[in-house]
Structure 1
Amino acid sequence: MQRYFLNEDLKDYQNQTISISGDSFHHMIKVMRMKVDHRVYLVTKDQQAFIAKINAIEENKVLLNWVEDDLRQQELPIDVTIASGLPKGDKLDLIVQKGTELGASAFIPFAGSFSITKWDTKKAAKKIERLQKIAQEAAEQSHRTKIPTLQPLASVKQLIEMKEQFDVCLVAYEESAKAGEDQNFVKGLKMLPAGGKLLIVFGPEGGLSKDEVGAFIQNGFLPCALGPRILRTETAPLYALAAASYHFELMHK
């Protein structure tokens, strides 16, 4: 079944008629060609998922009613925020799409010293809006109950200032991999409490400068390797999220 996120608050979704219009209506009726009695998953703004049945299709909206709640746990038991140094081309699209499927809670693009791509103010707002749509579509496809947030373009200084919002902050550093340092990533995961918040910083294609890494470390970020190999900027966040999923979801089942 298809999954759709609701934009409005529902006080009594189990008993009220639910009206869907806009892009979701278009996708249901024009793309998926749904009919009366077809069922879908819906997710409220407070992350309650449930199955609903189409009762009527009007000119510009579809009307549904609750059938049963979906009580499956679809979210990582920790919040993982991915900070990505601006990469070239459409690599950030890939990071957001696949990172959403793997359970990321938020994404922060930042301008690193070695970022070739530059965003001006007007471009940044449009990029964030587009990436937020990619995140929503990926969250629907992967049956999540939460759409990750795309935060505004940041600087290294601003990332450091965000440190107090997180329980653990890591910075992926290729020199750590070359030196065989593979314990800080595991150490960071073990330090997280249930429901804890983790920030992981990844550099652009050229990596992070020594000054940037030094600034992160001086402010309490743990430098870490992600295995013995040097990963591309679009691969490293996905490795980290997959490892976090294994540690928190599979290893403890």
Structure 2
Amino acid sequence: MKRIALGLSYNGSFFYGWQSQPHCQSIQDILEIAISKFISVDEKVKTICAGRTDRGVHAISQIVHFDTKIERSMTSWVRGVNAFLPKDISIHWAKSVTTDFHARFSATSRKYTYVLYCGSVRPSIYHDLVGWCMYELDIDKMIDSSNYLIGLHDFSSFRASRCQSNTSVREIYSFDIKKNGSFIIFTIEANSFLYHMVRNIVGVLIEIGRSIKSIEWMKELLEIKNRSFAAPTFSPHGLYLFSVKYPDYFNLSSDISNSSVIFPFL
């Protein structure tokens, strides 16, 4: 058996998230069917992804792996599988990897970007591609409060009730917030994320940016470790899985860096 890694992007607007679900259209199901059709096998191929994105969430660079006995060139994997995929899912590269590579467990960090549009009228052109806030936000307050999140913390206040992780402790390596016209772009890198963690953080930052809550509220939420005291979960539409990092010995860094798609908000 050979192990193949794929880098893909997708618009998650019309899917029920990544993970396979009964009676729902998931990205995993569609990808696995496309791979099976390309290699002409009756048994559906099983894929493993780096980050299980939720319903309505997008990906700039999702990484998956699967095992197969079929021999194809890497170019053929890209073109062949894309031929069976809908237009809102694209394979950007394929690479043969060693069997100890695991798209999820080999990853050393994941980076998510949240794109927020601030304006009095909802953004029709970017509908489902960005979150929307009708209020002006103080970006300096949001930046100051986000600094409390850097490092190793218990993120229980930012964890969804349906989260199945054994621990709520995560390490955030970097958190960048910048403004580009009417857009505010939040970029956060961590070893891994809890269910709805990024959207819950964005919800808190918006309340701080509106001056409803103080900058120190972020620190208080970390200390109290109680989801019920934080802001509501914000919209999924502006959230993107931006990139995934792996150890250098897997030789995937160049493939991942070359897979960037046009991201007009940056």
Q: Confirm or deny a common fold (TM above 0.5).
A: no
TM-score of the pair, normalised by structure 1? 0.28
Q: Greater relative contact order: 1 or 2 (C-alpha under 8 angstroms, separation 6 or more)?
A: 2
Tell which structure's C-alpha radius of gyration is larger: 1
Indicate the structure with greater helix content.
1
Indicate the structure with greater strand content.
2
TM-score of the pair, normalised by structure 2? 0.27
